[in-house]
Structure 1
Amino acid sequence: MVKLTIDGIQVEAEKGTSILHAAESVGIEVPTLCYIKDLLPDGSCRMCMVEIESRGRIKMETACTAQVAEGLVVTTNSEKVRNARRNILDMLLSNHKTDCFSCPSNGDCKLQELCFEYGIERTTYSGEQTELPIDDSNKFFTYNPNLCILCHRCVNTCHKIVGRGAIDTMERGFDSAIGTPFHIDWADTNCESCGNCVQACPTGALTMKRRKNYRKYQIDKKVLTTCPHCATGCQYYLLVKDNKIVDVEAADGPSNKGLLCVKGRSGSFDFVHSGDRIKYPLIKNKETEEFERATWDEALDLVATKFLDIKKNYGTDALAGFACSRSTNEDIYMMQKLVRCGFGNNNVDNCARVWHSPSVAGLAMTLGSGAMTNTIADTTGESDLIMLVGSNPEEAHPVIGMQIRQAVQRGCKLIVVDPRDIDLAKKADVHIKLKPGTNVAFANGIMHVIIEEGLQDLDFINSRTEGYEELKEIVKDYTPERVAEICNIDPDDLRKAAIMYAKADKAPIMYCLGVTEHSTGTEGVMSMSNMAMLVGKLGREGCGVNPIRGQNNVQGACDMGA
């Protein structure tokens, strides 16, 4: 540990810690514009300048890039420091449109906030200002380069966090600007419209188009909830104005880490206030054949009476209930309770059965539980290799796709097993384009190679599994050449994938409907489990067998008995 003094406070920090982090650890806030947590510091905005005294010498450095050292004396808010920050803000305003009243980010602009704090009302540097066209081509957000301060937060977010790389810093010097390749419209790039760059922007350069309908100070409350789309389970805040949801803001949830996709940010709540939504009970008038408004008591009495009549006339099995996998556990539990206790049968189901019943059956049979063995953060953050089978997370589970791209950026190997040329296949070390419906043969071929190469984990097999000899007998005939004929793949790719997977220390299998929605879906899931058990990749970080589900509470719907 390194000891230093920050604003008169004795601080201990690990070697390699930035002064910015060390200051934050004792509650000292240092202003920043370009800094993004968990990324290497950019140091471009210079707002985090501090005074550092070491061995009798005093110098000014950026707190985000300077690291702690024994005996340093750091001052974060001296007049010299404040003057330096004022000068930085003054220069930023010299090439920045200050039409704050008409800016969608008015009241939610970090630059505006810092200018107010440091007393900068206008620039003292008169001269030329850039005048660039506004890009309004994206359906969900607008880019105004005349409000950009070149902090690179949007670029770093897109490249290093989202992993898309749709934008970059173009030109040099005074002509520098954030832009798209070859200056094409934003809508024509490989941008996913996730809006994470917009959330990262500290000014009004990038703004969601729905921000035209409200300002930050008009928000009455924020409500933490879970995105209703896929099973990633992203957390976000609903922003409520006048008892109406007007926007969302990503939360730092365990699975999304402050990220959202285009569906979560721009397509997850407008239906709440749709004019087509039924807001109260309706009962059809038999004479007019029109639905008419009714009270809740009238509607519930009618439904209960009809249910009882059907049960009396046609028997208990004439009734059934279907739960929604986007509902809460409590609602789903009450639904299955209604069916079992009220209807008197077990005719209850939910949409998870259509998609992932093979996961529940296959994983329950092989591992004892029909669920992911590891968390999303664990599979993408701790792994050395990811085997992605029958899944296109960049489209079906975009935030997981972003985290897989992050993993690849840090050096994680990627094996894609999919007949389609999904976008992640471009980043894969091996892409096995197997024939649809041949997942079991593929898995048997992988296991054949692992056993043939002596890469199986016999200690794990002997202590934690059963049926190894039977499995060995089954897969002995699935040579790479035979599997290549069945799956229509290159046998060398199969060998390479098997050896890579077996030798990796931490390697999860992640799969989706490409495995389950087959007549052999259950066997396909069981084969994935056998692959993991064969090399001891269960019960450890960054490993396991992990179905990526379709809706935000598929697991809860199954666990609640629907």
Structure 2
Amino acid sequence: MQEVNFKNARDRFFKEIENVNHPDETLVKTHCSYCAMQCGMNLRVNTKTNKIIGVEPRYDWPVTLGKMCPKGVTAYQQVNHQDRILKPLIRDDKSLKGTNKGFREATWEEAYDLIVSKFKGLQEQYGKDSISVYSGVSMTNEKCYLTGKFARVGLQTRYIDYNGRFCMASAAGGLNRSLGIDRGSTVPWTDVHETDCVFLAGSNTAECHPTSMFRIWAVQERGGYVIVADPRETPIARRADLHLDLRPGTDLALANGILNQLIKNGYVDEEFVTNHTNGFEETKKVVEDFTPEYTSQITGVAPEKIIRAAEIYGKAPNAIVMFARGIEQQVKGVDNVSAYTNMALVTGKIGRSKSGVATITGQGNGQGGREHGQKADALPGYRKIAYPEHVEYISKVWGIQPEEMPKEGVSAYEMFGLMEQKTIRALYLLCSNPAVSAPNLNYVREQMKNLDFMVCVDFYLSESAEFADVILPTTTWAEDEGTTTNVEGRIIKINQAQKPLGEAKPDWQIQIEIAERMGRGNYFSHLKSAEDIFNELRVASKGGVADYYGVTWEKIEKQDGVFWPCKEENDPGTPHLFLDKKFYHPDGRAKIFALPYRPPAEEPDQEYPLRLTSGRVVYHYLSGNQTRRIQFLRDMCPDPFVEVHPETAEKYNINHEENVRLYTRRGEAVYKVKITEAIRKDTVFVPYHWGHDESINLLTIGALDPISRMPEFKACAAQIEKLEMKKVQ
């Protein structure tokens, strides 16, 4: 097959363009604030006003080579937006909780005094664990690390979790279980265009990670294949060589069916399986029943497509299996990840270049943010609170006694149950918007409203901030510095381009100042900068699975990022995992898992005959708190919609762009109809970037994966009805 050399094309481009000098302007090298592609960019800064005025792509960034999506091109506009919160806000009318009214401006000292008084009072009356911390992974590694320390040392609570529980938790569970390590990709992204087959499961890559597409298209241009498993005919599914149009929630059956054919037709790498894996014989027995015909009955995918998928993947000299939220946001998300990983293990297409598995990370620091202590059961370096030796090591780094380390908490959604029980009475919320992003929102919003006290740290007044008693203004990504870890597991550097607007402060500084006022400042006073925090993170991660000890800011700059694990300062990092065929389980072997099929938590019935699934559009990010404020992005996609197949629309007498009521056992919402053949007849789809009464999560189910505690966003039973309303103009 013809090779595609992107480096030569890039070099030719540089020779053809001229350097243009802009007076009163400087360029600050950094990365995008949104998804985990972390596309390279230069922020244009007016040196006279100290304001960011624009953006230019970085053609020297090896992952995306100057590619940017609509969100990235406009990301800089969030920094100086008119909606920025510039001073602390205190609620002075409790009756208006859940609205954007009832706040007054305050000084930092007044806000801190109120927070500390409330936190101390609640802890004195109800115990240390009456306070909870709910964080996110759109922050730097430094902020994510410090948030875990702030919760456990500064507030001394066990109850901390993060929004990655709604995003990456099942990928983490499945990869840890199968491979013994959770790094988003076993290969660098620069391998993708050189492989022979890309198998995409549950990823609308062209819209969610569009700057990956030039590499995926290059696979086809070289004569390779692209296979897509998705209930919708997404843009990438339309151009794929094979589209496996399965019913939402049936991925486990599909993966087992493909594995059945890989084994039956002789695509097993016997030497690799024998010497480097466990569990093959048990798995072989389980998948014997998953013939193409049986798998088709469960998934709705035609038997010949299942046979063809196995043939393409099995014959490919090299192949990469990629998956995303479509397979992970299910009650069997961990099983789905392990099942698709089974394909790589059985065929030996892992532990070498151009072959492996990868989870396409949604949030900018979805990888690093889950490695260093924000999870309910985790400590820095991917250590576990359940292991005494891990607690002992981190306690020494933090300067506390092991018995002082709080025990494991509960997952993000389960924290709302503890709020209902009044076990948790206060919430410190940062970098997350659960009033939009959590499932079963009527329930979640009620628990937020009934908290004794809530603090929200944000740079916009989000839907979640409307429930707060105190709102603290934080910085955007371009007003601070630090590191993030991208989709590949490459640690990169975010650089400050503008001084903080108004009275905004970085999250890490706010946490240190609160800890001081809580009487815990001696554990934080040595941390004067983001780099200080990173250097403590390095020590805290040393010897852990996610070992960053050998990474320095200087090395990141010199190498254009460093892949972890990186154990020593003379270690360049690890772009490819398992080249020595040693996996991270104690015996050095990977585990092939026997996984019986389980249906979704809620199947369609006579009352709710449709399957509801949700996802993203290219113009918006997560809960939309940032992107819905950017004029261009809002113009391109101003409102949510429900995709309905033409035959389904005819059955319900629904016309294109009419309003319909979509409802489940948990809630309802009104949406404009988009009639399209790109959706299955038994399925409806709604994007999840809108809040208040437009949020699709009013309808989704709070059923959780038993291992990852990931909610099942991707499948529940729904009904639709026509409304006698005017056509939306």
Both proteins in one fold, TM over 0.5: yes
Distance 2:134 2:30 in 1: 24
Change (3 A) 1:226 1:41: closer
Q: Deviations over 1:463-488 (max 9, x none)?
A: 11101110111111111111111111
Q: Quote the residue 1:351 is aligned against.
A: 163
In 1, Cα distance between equivalents of 2:251 and 2:346: 17
Deviation per residue, 1:450-501 (Å, 9 max, x gap): 1111110111111111011101111111111111111112211111111211
Partner of 1:415: 227
Using a 3 Å threshold, how does the CA distance of structure 1 residues 457 and 353 change in structure 2: closer, same or farther? same
Q: 2:42 aligns with which of 233, 237, 250?
A: 237
AA aligned opposite 2:40: Q
Match of 1:504 in 2: 316
Post-superposition shift, 1:235? Answer: 1.4
Contact 2:10/2:65 (<8 A) preserved: no
> Per the alignment, in what secondary structure is the counterpart of residue 415 of structure 1?
strand
Q: For residue 8 of structure 2, give the secondary structure of its aligned residue in structure 1.
A: coil
Q: What secondary structure is seen at the aligned counterpart in 2 of 1:561?
A: coil
SS at match of 1:560: coil
Structure 1 counterpart of 2:112: 300
Unaligned runs of 5+ in 1: 1-35, 49-63, 65-108, 114-214
Residue 121 (structure 2) pairs with residue 316 (structure 1): no
C-alpha distance in structure 1 between counterparts of 2:334 and 2:315, whole Å? 27
Distance in 1 between residues matched to 2:7 and 2:330, nearest whole Å: 43
Please point out which of 22, 27, 33 is paired with 1:217.
22
Q: Which position in structure 1 is the counterpart of 2:283? A: 471
The separation in 2 between residues aligned to 1:41 and 1:546, in whole angstroms, is: 29
> Matched residues in 1 for 2:135 and 2:211: separation?
26
Contact map agreement 1:379 1:508 (CA 8 A) in 2: no
Larger CA deviation: 452-461 vs 421-430? 421-430
Aligned to 1:86: none
2:171–2:359 CA contact under 8 A, matched in 1 = yes
- CA separation of 1:276 and 1:505: change in aligned 2, threshold 3 A: same
Offset at residue 535 of structure 1 (A): 0.4
- Whole-angstrom distance in 1 between the partners of 2:284 and 2:24: 62
Report deviation, 1:295: 3.3
Query: Which secondary structure does the structure 2 equivalent of 1:39 belong to?
Result: helix
CA deviations on 1:237-290 (whole Å, 9 max, x unpaired) are 111012111111111223212211111012x12121112211122334579996
Number of the residue aligned with 1:172: none
Q: Which residue identity does 2:346 align to in structure 1? A: L
Contact 1:311 1:343 in 2 (8 A): no
Measured at CA, do residues 486 and 290 of structure 1 come closer, stay the same or move farther in structure 2, by a change above 3 Å? closer
Partner of 1:263: 71
CA distance in 2, matches of 1:309, 1:332: 27
| Structure 2 gaps, min length 5 | 1-5, 96-100, 375-729
The answer for the alignment partner of 2:200 in structure 1 is: 388
Structure 1 residues 304, 534: CA separation in 2 closer, same or farther (over 3 Å shift)? same
Identity of aligned residues (%): 35
AA at the equivalent of 1:249 = E
- Shift of the 37–479 alpha-carbon distance from structure 1 to 2, 3 Å rule, reads closer
Q: Deviation at 1:554?
A: 0.6
Contact 1:373–1:539, Cα closer than 8 Å, also in 2? no
Quote the Cα distance in structure 2 between the aligned partners of 1:360 and 1:41: 37
Q: Secondary structure at the match of 2:53?
A: strand
Q: Show the counterpart of 1:187.
A: none
Return the letter of the residue paired with 1:298: E
Q: CA deviation at 1:528?
A: 1.0
Contact 2:185–2:358 at 8 Å: present in 1 too? yes
Aligned runs of 1:430-441 on 2, under 5 Å? 430-441=242-253
Rg (Cα) greater in structure: 1
Counterpart for residue 8 of structure 2: 38
- What secondary structure, in the 3-state scheme, does the structure 1 residue paired with 2:118 have? helix
1:277, 1:505 → 2: CA distance? 52
Note the C-alpha offset of 1:406: 2.8
- Could you tell me which residue of structure 1 aligns to residue 435 of structure 2? none
Q: Which residue number corresponds to residue 302 of structure 2?
A: 490
Amino acid of the structure 2 residue aligned with 1:312: E
Q: What is the distance in 2 between the residues matched to 1:301 and 1:313?
A: 18
Are 2:328 and 1:516 aligned? yes
CA distance in 2, matches of 1:287, 1:232: 41
Kept in 2, the 8 Å contact 1:440–1:524? The answer is: yes
Are residues 41 and 338 of structure 1, via their aligned partners in 2, closer, same or farther at CA, if it must alter by over 3 Å? closer
RMSD value over aligned CA atoms? 2.8
1: CA distance between counterparts of 2:105 and 2:62?
A: 43
Output the CA distance in 2 between the equivalents of 1:290 and 1:387.
51
How big is the shift at 1:216?
A: 5.3
For residue 217 of structure 1, give the secondary structure of its aligned residue in structure 2: coil
Aligned partner of residue 320 in structure 1, secondary structure: strand
Q: Is the 8 A contact 1:538 1:544 kept in 2?
A: yes
- Asked whether the 8 Å contact 1:376–1:400 carries over to 2, the reply is no
Correspondences of 1:134-213 after superposition (within 5 Å): none
Question: Does the CA contact (< 8 Å) of 2:244 and 2:305 recur in 1?
Answer: yes
Of the three residues 53, 76, 88, the one matched with 1:281 is 88
Could you give the per-residue CA deviations for residues 353-403 of structure 1, whole angstroms, max 9, x where no partner exists? 112211111111111122223345244222111001111111111101232
The answer as to 2:61 corresponding to 1:248 is no
Counterpart code for 1:218: P
Question: Conserved in 2, the CA contact under 8 Å of 1:408 and 1:427?
Answer: no
Within a 5 Å distance, the mapping from 1:88-107 to structure 2 comes to none
Tell me by how many angstroms 1:219 deviates.
Answer: 4.5
- Per the alignment, do residues 379 and 305 of structure 1 end up closer, same or farther by CA in structure 2, a change over 3 Å counting? farther
Q: 1:287 to 1:363 in 2, by over 3 A?
A: closer
CA distance in structure 2 between the partners assigned to 1:413 and 1:223 by the alignment: 39
After TM superposition, give the deviation of residue 298 of structure 1 in Å: 3.2
Which stretch has the larger CA shift, 435-444 or 420-429?
Answer: 420-429
8 Å CA contact 1:248–1:265 kept in 2: the answer is yes
SS in 2 for 1:459: helix
Instruction: Write the letter of the residue equivalent to 1:265.
Output: V
The aligned amino acid for 1:470 is E
Instruction: Provide closer, same or farther for how the CA distance between residues 356 and 440 of structure 1 changes in structure 2, counting only shifts above 3 A.
Output: same
- 1: CA distance between counterparts of 2:304 and 2:166? 35
Contact 1:391–1:514 at 8 Å: present in 2 too? yes
Task: Kindly indicate whether the alpha-carbon contact (under 8 Å) linking 1:359 and 1:547 is maintained by their aligned counterparts in 2.
Answer: yes
Q: 1:375 to 1:326 in 2, by over 3 A?
A: farther
Specify the alignment match of 2:352 in structure 1.
540
Residue 313 of structure 1, CA deviation: 1.7
Q: Is the 8 A contact 2:62 2:190 kept in 1?
A: no
Distance 1:328 1:257, change over 3 A: same
Aligned to 1:557: 369
- Taking structure 1 as reference, are residues 283 and 431 closer, same or farther at Cα in structure 2, changes over 3 Å only? closer
User: What are the superposed Cα offsets for residues 149-180 of structure 1, whole Å, 9 maximum, x if unpaired?
Assistant: xxxxxxxxxxxxxxxxxxxxxxxxxxxxxxxx
Alpha-carbon separation, structure 2, partners of 1:284 and 1:472: 60
Question: C-alpha deviations, 1:482-521, integer Å up to 9, x for none?
Answer: 1111111221111111121112111001111110111111
Number of aligned residue pairs: 362
Q: Which amino acid aligns with 2:348?
A: G
**In structure 2, distance between residues paired with 1:42 and 1:330:** 38
Partners in 2 of 1:375 and 1:301 — Cα distance?
Answer: 49
Q: Secondary structure at the match of 2:22?
A: helix
Question: Counterpart of 2:228 in 1: which secondary structure?
Answer: strand
